[in-house]
């Protein structure tokens, strides 16, 4: 989860985001087997510190390597192919070829060219300056948005809501095991520490649930392609009376141009410098979608019992 969140925060490629979703849905076991192997992490050029990804290789090189690995896992790599440690290491060596991390090469602040391994001081200076500027802009945007969020999330008594976990009231027992496990991970994720990762996984979990329901009633997903359209299709198929306010919070969310589901793609949400994901906002979204996901889960469970 940490690696997928880390990569999702740093890429604006829609294909990569789709592959991240595919790995979450069907290949997280393989990803876990690969990346819990210290030898594999050394080859890729990173390590874990708690739930954080610590880059040892230059960030550009690490993004490329993670992208290659995710694309491979989103394909048809079998779980049994990575059972043994020697198989996992060999798999990564074949996958990355010569682009593996040399022993002792690279530090978190290394300015080496990821293609040559040679230090490029001018390029390092440029990247540092660009990174500082981008970081400052993002911090300013986050502070401004946070101020707005504080005003909006203040109760009548002037006490701000404290929400740090997602889907606390959800019991998705009717969903597939893989989808349930993603919701369980979300329920444990600390939003204050990992807002971007939470946004990536939150959107994927919502889409997996909606797709699971639409597929169960034989909806052609090729004709309903965006997440917003799929959510609206699911609401329509659930046949809730038009006057009902049951999904009002969701339809309101869909109308926002940069909402998590209403955005054309996840990049417009996570990478929008004027609207970074805030933990209270993500918690509000999860509360609104809990109703829909629970209804989908209940319908799927009922249908499975009747089969």
Classify residue 129: in a domain, yes or no.
no
pLDDT tens string 81-92: 667 777 788 888
DSSP 101-167: PPTT---TT--B-TTT--B-HHHHHHHHHHHHHHHHHHHHHHHHHHHHHHHHTB-TTSPBP----S-
Classify residue 130: in a domain, yes or no.
no
Q: In the prediction, which pLDDT does 250 show?
A: 87
- Are the C-beta atoms of 19 and 13 separated by less than 8 Å? no
- Are the C-beta atoms of 8 and 21 separated by less than 8 Å? no
Is there a single domain that holds both residue 213 and residue 286? yes
Is there a single domain that holds both residue 78 and residue 15? yes
Q: In the prediction, which pLDDT does 209 show?
A: 94
Q: What percent of the chain has pLDDT over 70?
A: 68
For the cut 50, the answer to whether the pLDDT of residue 125 exceeds it is no
To the nearest 10 degrees (0 to 180), the angle between helices 59-73 and 28-35 is 140
Classify residue 148: in a domain, yes or no.
no
pLDDT tens string 66-110: 988 888 888 766 555 667 777 788 888 888 887 766 654 454 434
For the cut 80, the answer to whether the pLDDT of residue 140 exceeds it is no
Beta bridge partners of 47: 54
- Residue that finishes a domain, picked among 56, 84, 119: 119
Is there a single domain that holds both residue 169 and residue 292? yes
Q: In the prediction, which pLDDT does 119 show?
A: 41
Is there a single domain that holds both residue 167 and residue 79? no
Q: What percent of the chain has pLDDT over 90?
A: 13
Classify residue 109: in a domain, yes or no.
yes
Higher pLDDT, 176 or 285: 176
pLDDT tens string 47-57: 988 777 889 98
Classify residue 133: in a domain, yes or no.
no
Q: In the prediction, which pLDDT does 217 show?
A: 94
- Residue that finishes a domain, picked among 119, 146, 175: 119
Is there a single domain that holds both residue 283 and residue 170? yes
- Are the C-beta atoms of 48 and 6 separated by less than 8 Å? no
Q: In the prediction, which pLDDT does 272 show?
A: 65
Cα–Cα distance for residue pair 233/215, rounded to 1 Å: 12
pLDDT tens string 222-241: 998 888 889 999 999 997 77
Cα 123 to the chain's mean position, in Å? 30
Is there a single domain that holds both residue 173 and residue 295? yes
- Are the C-beta atoms of 297 and 252 separated by less than 8 Å? no
Classify residue 134: in a domain, yes or no.
no
pLDDT tens string 163-219: 567 888 899 999 999 899 889 888 888 777 777 778 888 888 999 999 999 999 999
Query: Average per-residue pLDDT in the chain?
Result: 73
- Residue that finishes a domain, picked among 119, 151, 174: 119
Cα–Cα distance for residue pair 154/56, rounded to 1 Å: 41
pLDDT tens string 9-64: 787 777 887 788 777 766 777 787 778 888 888 888 889 887 778 899 889 889 99
- Are the C-beta atoms of 66 and 34 separated by less than 8 Å? no
Is there a single domain that holds both residue 173 and residue 298? yes
Classify residue 10: in a domain, yes or no.
yes
Query: How many domains is the chain built from?
Result: 2
Which residue range is the domain that position 7 belongs to?
A: 2-119
Classify residue 150: in a domain, yes or no.
no
């Amino acid at each position: 989860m940490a690696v997928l969140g880390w990569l999702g925060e740093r890429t604006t490629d829609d294909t990569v985001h789709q592959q991240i979703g595919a790995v979450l849905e069907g290949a997280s076991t393989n990803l876990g087997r690969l990346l819990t192997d210290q030898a594999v992490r050394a080859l890729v050029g990173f390590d874990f510190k708690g739930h954080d990804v610590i880059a040892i290789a230059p960030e550009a090189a690490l993004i490329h390597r993670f992208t290659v690995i995710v694309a491979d896992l989103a394909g048809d790599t079998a779980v049994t192919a990575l059972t043994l440690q020697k198989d996992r290491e060999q798999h990564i060596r074949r996958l990355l070829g010569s682009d593996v991390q040399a022993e002792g090469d690279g530090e978190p602040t290394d300015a080496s060219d990821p293609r040559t391994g040679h230090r490029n001081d001018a390029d390092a200076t440029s990247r540092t300056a660009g990174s500082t500027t981008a970081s400052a802009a993002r911090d300013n945007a986050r502070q401004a948005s946070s101020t707005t969020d504080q005003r909006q999330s203040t109760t009548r008594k002037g006490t701000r809501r404290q929400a740090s976990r997602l889907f606390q009231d959800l019991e998705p027992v009717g969903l597939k095991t893989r989808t349930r496990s993603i919701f369980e991970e979300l329920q444990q994720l600390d939003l204050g520490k990992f807002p971007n990762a939470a946004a990536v996984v939150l959107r994927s979990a919502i889409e997996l649930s909606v797709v699971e329901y639409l597929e169960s009633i034989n909806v052609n997903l090729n004709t309903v392609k965006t997440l917003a359209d799929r959510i609206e299709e699911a609401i329509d198929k659930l046949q809730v009376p038009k006057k009902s306010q049951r999904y009002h919070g969701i339809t309101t969310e869909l109308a926002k141009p940069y909402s998590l589901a209403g955005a054309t793609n996840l990049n417009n949400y996570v990478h929008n410098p004027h609207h970074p994901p805030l933990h209270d906002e993500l918690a509000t979204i999860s509360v609104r979608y809990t109703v829909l996901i629970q209804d989908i889960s209940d319908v799927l469970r009922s249908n499975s019992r009747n089969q």
